[in-house]
Structure 1
Amino acid sequence: MRIVLVGPPGAGKGTQAVLLAKTLSIPHVSTGDLFRANISQGTELGRLAKSIMDAGKLVPDEVTIAMVKDRLAQPDAAKGFLLDGFPRNTAQAVALDEILTESGIALDGVLDLEVPEDEVVKRIAGRRICRNDSSHVFHVAYNAPKTEGVCDICGGELYQRSDDTEETVRTRLEVYHTETEPIIEYYKQQGLVTTISALGPVNEVTERAITALKQS
């Protein structure tokens, strides 16, 4: 299957992308991972992206598109893939269609994870990260530490990331509504969008997603 995963910040795209890709036996293609891989490997695209980011600028669409095109040309993506974080806007969606058309293939579906805005704010603004190990993540409501402000695992200090405040989250949601949400309408016109609720336990959302994809 060739799938695009979309949804607002805090919808659980990263978690669901990993689980869905494993269940469907297709590679999980994350733009964040692509940037990190290209930069760490010192590829031409990676060096270009790093120079742009080091200058405090946003990486232009054409660089991101080129990285995705290169990744989808790899052998493991020949029978399918799950795109997470791409496309982020309509221009990237059009470019993806062109890439796939050149290869004589097409998307099988676009899975839209739906979460109420207030729930997104609650999910993200409630996160607390351990200063000693960023993989130790807690939540004031859903996974509270035994002692407030202290990591259960290593005893490190828990803190709220600067981009996890309610004000910042609402700004990120505005950007999502303005830049990314229009791609849902773009794909709806192609009959590709299936929307599911991303509320509830992780495994239930995954089962919901698998069922929706099989029916699409």
Structure 2
Amino acid sequence: MYIVLLGPPGAGKGTQAQRIAAATGLLHISTGDMFREHVKNNTELGQLANQYMSRGELVPDEITIRMLLERISRDDAQAGAMFDGFPRNLAQAIALDQALASRGARVDRALLITVSDEELVNRLSGRWICRQCGRLYHQQNDPPQKPGICDTCGGQLYQRDDDKPEVVRERLQKQKPPADLIQHYRQAGVLREIDGQRPLDEVTQALLEAIK
């Protein structure tokens, strides 16, 4: 079984992917992990990807697709896998379809975790960091005892520029799954939409039910 996990930043894809992998035994293939492995091992693809990653830019489709095709050719991916962070656009989806079709397989489920923009901004813009010791806080999920002050060392808390609400809103518009990608899986009859604003365990259960 091959599963694609879709959703905007802050929807909880990474957390849910780990939970689904543990419950099903499916191999979890994360685009981020894949990039880091190639960069660490200084492969040709890693060197190419790092040119973009070091500048904070998205890695071009061609490089990402080549990495993904290499990854699913390994023995541990032959029985199936769950893709987290791939595909991010229609071109990548078509490349994945073609690669799986060549081995008589296909994407069996595309799971789209949906969360409102307002909730996503609250989740992503709530992070604060201690200037002194680096401890992370979240104003909703893990707030400090005193606003702006670190519980551990008493240092001042600050917010990174890319965690500020106005920046988060702009980033969301660029990084949401595009409409044509969602439609691609809807037309294939494999798309399942999951409400990602429910409690963590309920979202996991809904995802597992959708896989069945």
Normalising by structure 1, report the TM-score.
Answer: 0.89
- Tell me the residue number matched to 1:94: 94
Q: Deviations over 1:82-127 (max 9, x none)?
A: 1111101111111111111112211110000011111111111112
Distance 1:39 1:116, change over 3 A: same
Aligned length: 212
RMSD: 2.1
Q: Partner residue of 1:207?
A: 205
The residue matched to 2:32 in structure 1 has which SS?
helix
Match of 1:67 in 2: 67
Structure 1 equivalent of residue 182 of structure 2 = 184
In structure 2, how many angstroms separate the alpha carbons of the residues matched to 1:31 and 1:150? 35
Runs (5+) with no aligned partner, structure 2: none
Mapped to 1, the partners of 2:13 and 2:156 lie a distance apart of: 27
| Structure 2 Cα separation of the partners of residues 26 and 6 of structure 1 | 16
Match of 2:18 in 1: 18
Q: How does 1:45-194 map to 2 (within 5 A)?
A: 45-54=45-54, 58-130=58-130, 136-152=135-151, 157-177=156-176, 180-194=178-192
Task: Tell me how far apart the structure 2 counterparts of residues 154 and 34 of structure 1 sit (CA, whole Å).
Answer: 36
Q: For the residues of structure 2 that align with 1:133 and 1:113, how far apart are their CA atoms?
A: 34
Give the % identical residues: 46
Quote the Cα distance in structure 1 between the aligned partners of 2:5 and 2:155: 34
Q: For each residue in 1:142-181, what CA deviation from the matched residue of structure 2 results, as whole angstroms up to 9, or x when unmatched?
A: 321223234445666543232111111111221135x634
Change in CA separation of 1:130 and 1:22 when aligned onto 2, cut-off 3 Å: farther
Q: Say which is worse superposed, 18-27 or 188-197, in terms of deviation.
A: 18-27
d(CA) in 2 for partners of 1:166 and 1:13?
20
Q: For residue 147 of structure 1, give the secondary structure of its aligned residue in structure 2.
A: coil
CA shift in 2, pair 1:200/1:148, >3 Å:
same
Distance in 2 (CA, whole Å) between partners of 1:185 and 1:133 is 46
Name the CA distance, whole Å, in 1 between partners of 2:35 and 2:69: 13
Cα distance in structure 2, aligned partners of 1:184 and 1:133: 42
CA change 1:25–1:137 in 2 (3 A) is farther
Counterparts of 1:129 and 1:102 in 2: how far apart (Å)? 47
Q: Return the alpha-carbon distance in structure 1 between the equivalents of residues 90 and 200 of structure 2.
A: 29
